[in-house]
Amino acid sequence: MKTMRYAALAALMAVAGCVTATPEGETAEISEQVRALAAPGQDLTQVRLESDGCYWYRYDGPVETTFLPLMTREDRMICVRAPTT
């Protein structure tokens, strides 16, 4: 049973490695209102507005660099409109 789980996990990791990220937004200056909403510890120098209407910031981690959602102190995403479902 464990062998089957490991095989499924290995297959999932192999397929995930084939996917490439496609940037949807552009890096832009954010307003003072958005800066005031943002929780501390987030790099606000490279922020972009994605097609979902939410702000994402560039995170330079120890292993990879990626964009993460810009969050408030209450752990809510900062968006200009409600995401459509």
Q: Whole-model pTM above 0.85? A: no
The region of weakest confidence among 4-13, 23-32, 72-81 is: 4-13
Residue 38, domain member (yes or no): yes
What pLDDT score does 85 carry?
62
Domain that holds residue 51: 25-85
Torsion of CA 39, 40, 41, 47, to 10 degrees: 60
Looking at the predicted structure, is the pLDDT value of residue 11 above 90? no
Contact between residue 72 and residue 39 where contact means Cβ atoms under 8 Å apart: yes
Residue 66, domain member (yes or no): yes
d(C-alpha 6, C-alpha 10), whole Å = 6
Residue 18 backbone dihedrals phi, psi, to 5 degrees:
-85, -15
**pLDDT at residue 22 greater than cutoff 50:** no
Helix (H) or strand (E) holding 37: helix 32-37
Does any domain span residue 34? Answer: yes
70 inside domain: yes
Number of domains in the chain: 1
Residue 18 located in a structural domain = no
**Comparing 28 with 8, which gets the higher pLDDT?**
28
